[in-house]
């Protein structure tokens, strides 16, 4: 941890705090939703701490609220989180060298921490960025969920704050350095098109995984060059 504080840039800490503030708002809406869905407080906290993957948490709670089959929702949530496998493959060695730290760091692997560290390279700065972003988002997400649960229906819709635009914009900003490469731009564009085309036909989260088909654009580009 000492090496973490030594290599942590002030800019990176500030940027991670901006994301954490936004995620606290989303966490609060999750807590409020779980309350109205009748999920017991302890289970809501456990879900938020143990799963720590926002979209799949919302999915399960929404199904509970609608009176649907919870285990079908859990299966859908796991499918949604399958994108974490290629993320782990891509940035696995950025997380840590030793296994105890890796086991801990694995739990902090979410879209934002992956994008945040990739934008800062695979060196010490990327590692510090991964842990800073992961830990801050974990703390703010869970704190937000607790506050939202306690405040209940007094929590306004996060859409009123435009938080739903903040996350895609933030991810895009973090992707810009990678998108300077022509092959990454081609792959990204193809991935976006495929995922959007698949969205009306597939359950939530799966179109993103289908976006991996965008990799085909890398091969043709390579053969052409």
Partner 1 sequence: MSWAAVLTLGIGTYLLRLVGIVLRDRMTVPERVERYLDLAATALLVALVATATLTEGGGFAGWARPAGVLVGALAAWRRVPFVLVVVLAAATTAGLRMLGVP
Residue closer to partner 1, measured from CB, 50 or 139: 50
Contact 98, 88 (CB under 8 A): no
**Alpha-carbon distances of 222 from 184, 211, 212, 219, rounded to whole Å:** 12, 19, 17, 5
Residue closer to partner 1, measured from CB, 139 or 197: 197
Q: What are phi and psi of 159, to 5 degrees?
A: -60, -30
Structure tokens, 20: 């954490």
Taking the complex as a whole, the smallest distance from the CB of residue 82 to partner 1 amounts, in Å, to 6
Q: What is the DSSP string of the chain?
A: -HHHHHH--HHHHHHHHHHHHHHHHHHHHHHHHHHHTT--HHHHHHHHHHH--HHHHHHHHHHHHTT--HHHHHHHHHHHGGGHHHHHHHHHHHH-SSHHHHHHHHTT--HHHHHHHHTT-SSHHHHHHHHHHHHHHHHHHHHHHHHHHHHGGGSPPGGGGTHHHHHHHHHHHHHTTGGGSHHHHHHHHHHHHHHHHHTTTS-TTHHHHHGGGGGHHHHHHHHH-
Taking the complex as a whole, the smallest distance from the CB of residue 216 to partner 1 amounts, in Å, to 10
Taking the complex as a whole, the smallest distance from the CB of residue 21 to partner 1 amounts, in Å, to 8
Taking the complex as a whole, the smallest distance from the CB of residue 223 to partner 1 amounts, in Å, to 13
Taking the complex as a whole, the smallest distance from the CB of residue 6 to partner 1 amounts, in Å, to 22
Residue closer to partner 1, measured from CB, 99 or 154: 99
Residue closer to partner 1, measured from CB, 88 or 124: 88
Taking the complex as a whole, the smallest distance from the CB of residue 4 to partner 1 amounts, in Å, to 18
């Amino acid at each position: 941890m000492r090496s973490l504080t030594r290599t942590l840039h002030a800019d990176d800490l500030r940027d991670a705090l901006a994301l954490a503030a936004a995620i606290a708002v989303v966490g609060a809406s999750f807590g409020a939703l779980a309350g109205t869905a009748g999920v017991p407080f302890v289970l809501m906290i456990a879900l938020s701490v143990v799963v720590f993957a926002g979209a799949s948490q919302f999915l399960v709670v929404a199904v509970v609220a609608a009176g649907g089959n919870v285990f079908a929702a859990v299966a859908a949530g796991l499918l949604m989180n399958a994108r974490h496998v290629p993320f782990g493959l891509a940035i696995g060695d950025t997380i840590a060298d030793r296994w105890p730290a890796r086991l801990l760091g694995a739990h902090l692997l979410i879209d934002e921490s992956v994008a945040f560290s990739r934008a800062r390279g695979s060196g010490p700065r990327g590692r510090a960025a991964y842990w800073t972003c992961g830990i801050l988002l974990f703390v703010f997400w869970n704190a937000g969920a607790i506050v939202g649960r306690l405040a209940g229906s007094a929590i306004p819709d996060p859409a009123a704050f435009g938080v739903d635009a903040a996350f895609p914009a933030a991810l895009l900003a973090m992707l810009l350095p990678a998108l300077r490469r022509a092959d990454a731009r081609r792959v990204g564009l193809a991935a976006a098109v495929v995922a959007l085309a698949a969205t009306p036909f597939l359950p939530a989260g799966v179109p993103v995984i289908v976006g991996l088909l965008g990799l085909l654009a890398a091969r043709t580009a390579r053969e052409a060059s």
